């Protein structure tokens, strides 16, 4: 009976959403509000992401949970504005409202990548300066995961494991969503082949402390092969907090792989690996991967199946399987994303959880 009820929910959801699907006709960015375009060199953004989840079985308890993230941003290109070459400025704010769906599912890897504490805050405030084609420096308030440990193919998925490798934020405080923080980074090389190195706050919750409560050093090597669709990133990090009693140190490494099929560039495989072997670490090993189909049809833009597994210290491994798709609305100004997740051994101790979800992403302006 339970299996029949789950199938009925999914079928009903598909019939409800199908009439609203409308294919995007071109690659021109669209917004829900048709306001005048900003001046060249000046860009604005206002977007809204909203989630609805239902934990239908297993986990801690059954129930509904919601997430909401409103993001607004401003960008300046000094070259396009006719000021000086190579300068970029970014400012962003966000408002988070969440009833924390993982409290129902009981999972460690966090089934929603926009869940967080209810707050309004500055999400980014940084300036970058390029020197020719091969050197770039950036400083300010940043999300580490925008520039390090990025797997573009995996960004389709809602489960947070497909973002930054869980062996980092599950084990140490990290300057990533929802706690972006002060940092300094550099890129040496081109977009196709580069070294990246960064220094970030070790305690991102308190931005007034700068590096007083510790620091995280991270380095990454990237390769992008434009001829065969291969992208590889390998990185390592080290965090030291000398002012904490007792002083703590931790480290880890990660790798990302993206590979499109030779005869079908719209089908992309991805893989993720993370290790952090400290004795006290909650997640010493992580492995993730999946497949993403892009430009599927007029009614479905992307479709993907993902697998994520974290080896939890002193418990059995938690495994998450996610199936998701994006449906464009209003000529692509909004996306509706039905989502189904099945989580085996949430946190290594709870019954297997079945989670039915739906996300709305709207580019308001």
Higher-pLDDT residue of 1, 136 = 136
Is 174 a domain residue?
A: yes
Residue found by looking up tokens 């967080």 in the block? 116
Whether the per-residue pLDDT at 335 is higher than 60: the answer is yes
Residue 299 lies in domain: 2-38+58-64+131-363
Is 90 a domain residue?
A: no
Is 93 a domain residue?
A: no
Helix (H) or strand (E) holding 12: helix 2-17
Least confidently predicted of 147-151, 178-182, 208-212? 208-212
pLDDT at 245: 54
Is 13 a domain residue?
A: yes
Could you give the C-alpha distances from 218 to 145, 188, 201, 236, 250, in angstroms and in order? Answer: 11, 14, 11, 6, 12
What would the mean pLDDT of 4-29 be, rounded to a whole number? 40
Is 26 a domain residue?
A: yes
Is 120 a domain residue?
A: no
pLDDT per position as a tens digit, 276-315? 987 889 999 999 999 999 999 888 999 999 999 999 988 8
Whether the per-residue pLDDT at 15 is higher than 50: the answer is no
pLDDT at 247: 60
Beta strand pairing call for 302-311 and 87-98: unpaired
pLDDT at 7: 41
pLDDT per position as a tens digit, 225-264? 877 779 999 999 999 987 665 668 899 999 999 999 988 8
pLDDT at 215: 92
Alpha-carbon span 213 to 244, nearest angstrom: 7
pLDDT at 5: 42
Higher-pLDDT residue of 58, 192 = 58
What would the mean pLDDT of 12-26 be, rounded to a whole number? 37
Whether the per-residue pLDDT at 4 is higher than 50: the answer is no
- What is the percentage of the chain residues whose pLDDT exceeds 90? 73
Give the Cβ contact number of residue 61 at 10 Å: 12
Alpha-carbon span 181 to 204, nearest angstrom: 5
85: left (phi over 0), alpha (psi -120 to 50) or beta: beta
pLDDT at 365: 85
Confidence of residue 3 (pLDDT cuts 50, 70, 90): very low
Is 21 a domain residue?
A: yes
Please provide residue 14's backbone torsions phi and psi, each rounded to the nearest 5 degrees.
Answer: -65, -40
Whether the per-residue pLDDT at 317 is higher than 90: the answer is yes
Please provide residue 217's backbone torsions phi and psi, each rounded to the nearest 5 degrees.
Answer: -110, 130
| Degrees to nearest 5, angle at CA 209 with 208 and 213 | 160
Higher-pLDDT residue of 209, 358 = 358
Helix (H) or strand (E) holding 63: strand 63-77
Count: domains in the chain: 1
pLDDT at 159: 97
The pLDDT mean for the chain works out to: 89
Q: What share of the chain is helix, strand, coil (3-state, %, to 5)?
A: 10, 50, 40
Whether the per-residue pLDDT at 319 is higher than 60: the answer is yes
pLDDT at 246: 60
Is 312 a domain residue?
A: yes
Question: CATH number for the domain including 323?
Answer: 2.40.160
pLDDT at 23: 37
Please provide residue 113's backbone torsions phi and psi, each rounded to the nearest 5 degrees.
Answer: -85, 5
Residue 153 · residue 292 · CB < 8 Å: yes
pLDDT at 213: 79
């Amino acid at each position: 009976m339970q299996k029949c009820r789950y199938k009925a929910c999914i079928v009903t959801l598909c019939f409800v959403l199908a009439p609203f699907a409308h294919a995007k006709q071109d690659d021109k960015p669209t917004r829900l509000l048709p306001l005048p375009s900003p001046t060249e060199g000046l860009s604005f953004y206002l977007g809204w992401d909203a989630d609805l989840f239902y934990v239908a079985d297993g986990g801690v308890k059954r129930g509904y949970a919601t997430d909401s993230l409103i993001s607004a941003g401003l960008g300046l290109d000094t070259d396009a504005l006719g000021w000086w070459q190579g300068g970029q400025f970014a400012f962003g704010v966000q408002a988070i409202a969440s009833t924390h769906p993982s409290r129902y599912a009981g999972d460690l890897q966090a089934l929603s990548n926009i869940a967080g504490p209810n707050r309004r805050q500055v999400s980014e405030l940084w300036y970058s300066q390029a020197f020719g084609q091969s050197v770039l420096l950036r400083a300010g308030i940043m999300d580490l995961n925008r520039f390090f440990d990025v797997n573009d193919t995996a960004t389709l998925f809602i489960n947070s494991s497909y973002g930054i490798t869980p062996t980092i934020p599950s084990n140490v405080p990290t300057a990533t969503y929802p706690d972006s923080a002060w940092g300094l980074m550099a890129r040496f090389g081109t977009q196709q082949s580069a070294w990246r190195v960064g220094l970030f706050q070790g305690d991102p919750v308190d931005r007034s402390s700068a590096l007083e409560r510790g620091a995280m050093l991270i380095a990454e090597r990237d390769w992008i092969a434009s001829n065969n669709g291969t992208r590889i990133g390998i990185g390592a990090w080290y965090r030291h907090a000398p002012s904490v009693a007792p002083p703590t140190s931790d480290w880890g490494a990660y790798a990302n792989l993206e590979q499109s099929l030779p005869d079908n560039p719209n089908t992309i495989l991805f893989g993720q690996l993370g290790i952090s072997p400290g004795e006290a670490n909650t997640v010493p090993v992580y492995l993730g991967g999946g497949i993403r189909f892009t430009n599927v049809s007029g009614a479905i833009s992307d479709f993907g199946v993902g697998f994520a597994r974290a080896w939890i210290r002193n418990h059995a491994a938690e495994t998450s399987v996610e199936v998701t798709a994006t449906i464009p609305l209003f000529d692509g100004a909004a996306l509706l994303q039905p989502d189904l997740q099945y989580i085996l051994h949430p946190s290594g101790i709870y019954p297997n959880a079945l989670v039915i979800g739906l996300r709305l992403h709207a580019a308001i302006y």
